[in-house]
Chains A and B, each alone.
Chain A
């Protein structure tokens, strides 16, 4: 068993020479290390933090922000082993096929891979997140909300859950023993990679510079490098490593840090009334399935691919939240509408709706380096956050379609809460699902990594995680980024052989 090493005990000027250096010990880094544990490669897993939260390490994340109000850069992520899984809610769902398509009228869409390329990796990814048996397509037992044919239908979340615990799987805690037990994996804590140094021709990584908050520094000279530090920190490291490529590693086309994205989750986006007051609790609660307590599911409502193409709307997942009161107008709307439709609404109930929205890609929503520096001397980041009126308008179209389908089925009706940008922004919260800053593309001019997650033009540098998402879908990213990482693992087995 290999114990966790502490970078603070590595002497200055040491040079480590693993086959593979993985930068970041979050879900991507841990999944990749475990996937390659038996590959014969010697793997150094470099984690900036330790095995628990430390304010001084967390402070390395701080940065500046302009534009739309957003979560502070040191608040929406966690810098210790396990990364963001230390605070995730366990919501899981695979991306949809349309998420990978080039969508007509939606610029910057289209991955160089398809959902079918990821599908072989979903079973293992589902095991790693401990999401229970694969039931996303089949759905759960229960009574689906009756909807007339149309653009919106019921879809399913599953939930990560650590065995014998109510908590989602925290990758650091859950897989620490497996990492220690793997003879070829060396997990190293407190190890901050501060620079990627390229060969003079810029085509290979020669070494990584590593520093600790205690003041020592050393080098890693691996054959291959995978950046798995999250969509914000990967961009920072690439932009800050600008000695050979003056705009930063892999940034010859000014694409690193652009297209930053998250899932907006505005609150109380609508009120949904069900005329007979009957709604299966699986719409409002994560529900263990009968006879299968490890399979936890919750229903949501999402636009179908046909509706998305026809209307040009982005993805979204609408959830039913809490019971909601009806005011005088709401009561009048329900009474008048139900009577017109010939439906008894004497037992009608109302719920508020929440959602996770997909943002349309925007190159101006980006990370750049600021003039400030952190405790290790690295430039801090500046995020310029945007969200377009179209994103709100598109989601509103989806909600209105849901309302139409409820009416046509004589099931219920809907009230849309917001119709101005100010109202949407006032209700705004964010998923802290950082994506898109090293997007995947076939053409180096439109992205940072290729279909195998290799940084364009740098043969031994790869990226793992949701930073490579070209478009974002509305599904929570963890299951999908783990599947993509496992795909990268298979590719690395080939190229390192």
Chain B
């Protein structure tokens, strides 16, 4: 086995590993018009489960969220300032509830 073959084999193995991680180790969601927001939510399924029915439309809700700070910043700020809401008794930052509602609105059928 020469050096070229070894290098080629290692490259193939790394590609296979990367593909496996992408396929089985990461969650993938259908494209939505709101992925710039929903990409901030690591587990959209959990968020969609938490999300409550909202009167806001997805575009309206998304517009409001785009005008606010990123989720990671806004969630901590909401908690500190007491901007919390209850979802079936769970006390969560308002922004978490908003993103959860957006995830619910865009949950794949």
Which A residues are within 8 Å of any B CB, using their own CB? 148, 270, 328-333, 335-337, 339-342, 400, 403-404, 407-408, 410, 413-417, 419
Stretch with Cβ within 8 A of A (4 or more), from B1-9, B17-25, B59-67, B78-86: B78-86
Q: Which residues of B contact A333 (CB under 8 A)?
A: 50, 87, 90, 92
Q: Which residues of A contact B43 (CB under 8 A)?
A: 335-336, 339
Alpha-carbon distance A341/B63, docked complex (angstroms): 22
**Binary CB contact string for chain B from 69 to 109 against chain A (1 if under 8 A, 0 otherwise):** 00110011001101010111111110110011000000000
Q: Find the residue from A329, A333, A410 having the highest chain B CB count within 10 A.
A: A333
Choose one: A148, A331, A414; the contact of B91 (CB below 8 Å): A414
Alpha-carbon distance A333/B82, docked complex (angstroms): 18
Closest Cβ of chain A to B81, distance in Å, is 9
Tell me, yes or no, whether B49 is within 8 Å of chain A by CB: yes
Q: Which residues of A contact B96 (CB under 8 A)?
A: 336-337, 340
Given contact pairs A336-B43, A339-B43, A340-B75, A404 touches B91 in the complex (Cβ within 8 A):
yes
Assess the B79–A415 pair: CB atoms within 8 A.
no
Q: Which residues of B contact A340 (CB under 8 A)?
A: 41, 71-72, 75, 93, 95-96, 99
Knowing that A337-B93, A340-B93 touch, tell me 15 more A-B residue pairs with CB under 8 angstroms: A329-B87, A332-B46, A333-B92, A335-B43, A336-B92, A336-B99, A340-B75, A342-B72, A342-B76, A407-B93, A413-B92, A415-B89, A415-B91, A417-B89, A419-B89
Tell me, yes or no, whether B42 is within 8 Å of chain A by CB: yes
Assess the A341–B90 pair: CB atoms within 8 A.
no
Assess the B84–A341 pair: CB atoms within 8 A.
no
Q: State the interface size on chain B (CB cutoff 8 A).
A: 28
Choose one: A341, A404, A416, A417; the contact of B82 (CB below 8 Å): A404
Closest Cβ of chain A to B99, distance in Å, is 7
Assess the B92–A408 pair: CB atoms within 8 A.
no
Assess the B47–A332 pair: CB atoms within 8 A.
yes
Residue of B nearest to A149 (CB): B80
Alpha-carbon distance A404/B71, docked complex (angstroms): 17
Alpha-carbon distance A342/B70, docked complex (angstroms): 12
Alpha-carbon distance A405/B43, docked complex (angstroms): 24
Residue of B nearest to A335 (CB): B46
Q: Which of B2-51 contact A (CB under 8 A)?
A: 41-43, 45-47, 49-50
Assess the A336–B84 pair: CB atoms within 8 A.
no
Assess the B91–A416 pair: CB atoms within 8 A.
yes
Pick the 7 closest A-B CB pairs, nearest first: A403-B91, A407-B79, A332-B49, A335-B46, A340-B75, A333-B90, A332-B46
Residue of B nearest to A416 (CB): B89
Q: Which residues of A contact B76 (CB under 8 A)?
A: 341-342, 408, 410
Closest Cβ of chain B to A392, distance in Å, is 14
Q: Which residues of A contact B75 (CB under 8 A)?
A: 337, 340-341
Residue of A nearest to B91 (CB): A403
Q: Which residues of A contact B82 (CB under 8 A)?
A: 404
Q: Which residues of A contact B90 (CB under 8 A)?
A: 329-330, 333, 337, 413-415
Assess the B79–A336 pair: CB atoms within 8 A.
no
Q: Find the residue from A148, A332, A336, A407 having the highest chain B CB count within 10 A.
A: A336
Assess the B41–A339 pair: CB atoms within 8 A.
yes
Closest Cβ of chain A to B58, distance in Å, is 18
Residue of B nearest to A148 (CB): B80
Assess the B88–A329 pair: CB atoms within 8 A.
yes
